[in-house]
Amino acid sequence: MRRIILDVDTGNDDAVAIMMAGLHPEITLLGCTTVAGNLPVANTTENTLRVLHHIGRSDVPVFRGLASPFAPHPFPTPADFVSSATPVHQEELELLPSPVGVQPHTAVEWLVETLRNATEKITLVPVGPLTNIAAAVTLAPEIVDAVDEIVIMGGSASHGNETSQAEFNIFEDPVAAHVVVNAGFDRLTLVTLDATRKARVSAAQCRELEALGTPGATATAQILDYYIRGNSDKALGSAAVHDALCIAYLLDPSVIETARLHVGVDTVGFHTYGRTLIDLTGIGGTAPNASVALGADSAKFFDLLRSTLAA
Ligand code: RIB
Ligand code: CA
């Protein structure tokens, strides 16, 4: 059993991750903290509440997080900034509003208090910009000791998806990412685009999910249909469900292939701003600080997704 906190910028793939975490019996979802990223934090918070209500998990508390990056972008948007012709994430997911609202505490306050008072270790799963996590460990560095593993969706050892060099979550707040990878977490797993690009769901597989007829599967099919249409690589007729792979990993670690590597973050380059600096050969001589996922088993991922949503 994993006791987890999901930090989300709910958009489409975050929604699928929340449903997997909220539905699987091997996961105790202690709460969701929201952050600006795919959408402004008001939207990511509302979308998170709607997803939890949709799967009958309004009991999971939602805490609104930070609205802007830990450090503002120092440069004008780089020339190679990827802007999708159609919006990739729906401003408001087509799900009923939840009767349960956001909790009164802010995300960072709740993260700090929950981890300070934890009697059992907690798994942190940030799948958006790392702003909340960076703020929490800056306020209370000791909270890393209450975390058994932090599983981050972010970065790339190859090409980016927000610029040619940088992955979205890291690009949105590179200084926060730098703070988090250097915060001293015992076990840091970085699920990069090199892995999530193999965790794709096709339009045909959306039909398979739809046929399950459960609330989670039906919503996932609808959300991913939209995501496939809006995705920059829609020509592939599929979409990488990035955040859901982090939850699939919690259920079956063999779904990803990892290597112990050193990870840094470029917080000063212009063309490389926000790039994860992953030392693939160890030539840098700095001890590894992460288990980096560079591959994934797409069939195993879809089996985990389908079986979890069938509930
Ligand atoms: O690069 C993919 C990541 O950016 C995912 O977490 C997606 O939801 C967006 O936040
Ligand atoms: Ca996300």
**pLDDT exceeds cutoff 70 at 55:** yes
- Pocket test of ligand 1: the residue of 127, 158, 193, 224 to mutate, having most ligand atoms within 8 Å of its CB, is 127
Q: Which sign, positive or negative, has the C-alpha torsion 227, 181, 178, 45?
A: positive
* 197-208 residues labelled b (16+ CB within 10 A) or e (exposed): bbbbbbeebbee
pLDDT, tens digit (0-9, with 9 covering 90-100), for 250-271: 999 999 999 999 999 999 998 9
- Give the orientation angle of helix 41-54 with respect to helix 215-230, to 10 degrees: 140
Determine the atom of ligand 1 nearest the C-alpha atom of 14.
8
Ligand 1 lined by 34 (C-beta under 6 Å): no
Instruction: Specify the pLDDT at position 79.
Output: 58
Residues 291 and 189: beta-carbon distance below 8 Å: yes
Q: Which two tokens stand for residue 27?
A: 């996961």
What is the gyration radius of the CA atoms in the chain, in angstroms? 18
Indicate the length of the chain as a whole number: 311
Q: Which sign, positive or negative, has the C-alpha torsion 161, 74, 47, 136?
A: positive
Ligand 1 lined by 217 (C-beta under 6 Å): no
All residues with CB under 5 Å from ion ligand 2: 9, 14, 127-128, 243
Ligand 1 lined by 169 (C-beta under 6 Å): yes
Arithmetic mean of pLDDT, 231-249: 86
Query: In the chain, pLDDT over 90 holds for what percent of residues?
Result: 88
Dihedral over alpha carbons 206, 208, 210, 213 (to 10 degrees): -150
Maximum CA pair distance of the chain? Answer: 54
CATH of 2-74+83-264+279-310, one of 3.40.47.10, 1.10.150.120, 3.40.30.10, 3.90.245.10: 3.90.245.10
- Pocket test of ligand 1: the residue of 6, 38, 130, 133 to mutate, having most ligand atoms within 8 Å of its CB, is 38
Residue 32 phi/psi, 5-degree rounding, is: -120, 130
DSSP state of 118: -
Residue that has been written with the tokens 């089996």 in this structure: 303
Which candidate, 127, 144, 240, places its Cα nearest to that of 183? 144
Dihedral over alpha carbons 161, 24, 6, 302 (to 10 degrees): 0
- Type of residue found at 128: G
Determine the atom of ligand 1 nearest the C-alpha atom of 11.
8
| Cα–Cα distance measured from residue 107 to residue 112, given in angstroms and rounded to the nearest whole number | 9
Q: Which residues are catalytic?
A: 242
Determine the atom of ligand 1 nearest the C-alpha atom of 9.
10
- Pocket test of ligand 1: the residue of 16, 243, 249, 275 to mutate, having most ligand atoms within 8 Å of its CB, is 243
Arithmetic mean of pLDDT, 71-95: 74
pLDDT, tens digit (0-9, with 9 covering 90-100), for 86-119: 578 888 999 999 999 999 999 999 999 999 999 9
